[in-house]
């Protein structure tokens, strides 16, 4: 068994925060602000997968089909994209936005990177509010339609929330009420990251 030493293959010691929350809870919005204020690099797994589709890569069509159904892409593909992006980024602090989504994501990430997250930022938001946000997002995402949104909510409830509960039982979850205006959400997030900085996390 390999040692679990929190290093990528290039021997870079890194800090990772998983940013979780339902579809439309504001993960991308809040990550952009954390980047500005705390110097993390933001890697959205959904965004990395969408880039694969646009690039017409080997797995592009399969990824597109899974996304349009609100289903999860095989972990091996997602984790390798994240790992590559981390290795290409000259930073030692990463926000993994929308990752992990299920147990298989976690197992694959641990196996390939040997990294444990410092903590999990969890954006808690009711479905009604998330639906409203997604339907008015206007970013041209094919999965922002009501049928797919309902499927994405189901995957979140069945596969991602149990993970959040698991990490909570280990004292690793920092939960924020994400149903408030962006500025109020970010005030809470700032407190969490400032405290993590002080503790050297
Ligand atoms: N606190 C907030 N109050 C109101 N609107 C918000 C808030 N946070 C984000 N939004 C808006 O809601 C929409 C969804 O936000 P965002 O893209 O950040 O969510 P997400 O969690 O990354 O979604 P997904 O899981 O689909 O990628 C965007 O149009 C964004 O501007
Ligand atoms: N770990 C992940 C993350 C995302 N996906 C797929 O991408 C879709 C969009 O994700 P967003 O975070 O941008 O909302 C998601 O519905 C999945 O189809 C994934 O498979 N695995
Ligand atoms: Mg997003």
Percent of the chain's residues with pLDDT above 70: 94
Ligand nearest to the CA of residue 188, numbered in listed order: 1
Angle at the Cα of 91 from the Cα atoms of 194 and 174, rounded to 5 degrees = 35
Residue of the CA atom closest to atom 29 of ligand 1: 137
Percent of the chain's residues with pLDDT above 90: 91
Q: Output the pTM of the full model.
A: 0.95
* CA 97 / ligand 3 centre spacing (Å): 7
> What is the average per-residue pLDDT within 127-147?
97
Q: Which residues contact 98 (CB under 8 A, 6 or more apart)?
A: 19, 20, 27, 44, 45, 46
pLDDT of residue 200: 75
Q: Which residues contact 164 (CB under 8 A, 6 or more apart)?
A: 20, 120, 122, 173
């930022």: which residue's tokens? 121
Pocket of ligand 1 (CB under 6 A): 21, 23-29, 46, 98, 133, 137, 181-182, 185
pLDDT of residue 89: 96
For residue 160, what are the CA distances in angstroms to 2, 4, 12, 63, 128?
27, 24, 28, 19, 18
Q: At what angle do helices 45-54 and 75-88 cross, to 10 degrees?
A: 100
Phi, psi of 104 (to 5 degrees): -65, -40
> What is the average per-residue pLDDT within 156-185?
98
> What is the average per-residue pLDDT within 126-155?
97
- Please check if 181 is assigned to a binding site: no
pLDDT of residue 5: 53
Residue of the CA atom closest to atom 10 of ligand 1: 26
Q: Is 153's C-beta closer than 6 angstroms to any atom of ligand 2?
A: no
Quickly state the pLDDT bin for 69 (edges 50, 70, 90): very high
Q: Using one digit for the tens of pLDDT, what is the confidence trace for 90-117?
A: 999 999 999 999 999 999 999 999 999 9
Probe residue for ligand 2, chosen from 26, 28, 74, 98 as the CB with the greatest number of ligand atoms within 8 Å: 98
Residue among 76, 75, 51, 79 at smallest CA distance from 64: 51
- Please check if 133 is assigned to a binding site: no
């Amino acid at each position: 068994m390999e040692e679990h030493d929190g290093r990528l293959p290039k021997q870079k010691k890194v800090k990772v925060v998983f940013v979780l929350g339902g579809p439309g809870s504001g993960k991308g919005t809040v990550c952009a602000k954390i980047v500005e204020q705390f110097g993390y690099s933001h890697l959205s797994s959904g965004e990395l997968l969408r880039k694969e589709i646009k690039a017409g890569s080997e797995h592009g069509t399969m990824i597109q089909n899974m996304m349009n159904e609100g289903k999860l892409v095989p972990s091996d593909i997602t984790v390798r994209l994240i790992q590559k992006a981390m290795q290409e980024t000259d930073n030692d602090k990463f926000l993994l936005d929308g990752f992990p989504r299920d147990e298989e994501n976690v197992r694959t990430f641990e196996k390939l990177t040997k990294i444990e997250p410092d903590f999990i930022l969890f954006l808690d938001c009711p479905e009604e509010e998330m639906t409203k946000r997604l339907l008015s997002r206007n970013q041209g995402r094919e999965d922002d339609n009501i049928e797919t949104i309902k499927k994405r909510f189901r995957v979140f409830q069945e596969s991602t929330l149990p993970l959040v509960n698991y990490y909570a039982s280990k004292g690793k979850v920092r939960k924020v009420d994400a149903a408030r205006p962006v500025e109020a959400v970010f005030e809470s997030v700032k407190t969490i990251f400032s405290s993590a900085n002080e503790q050297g996390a």
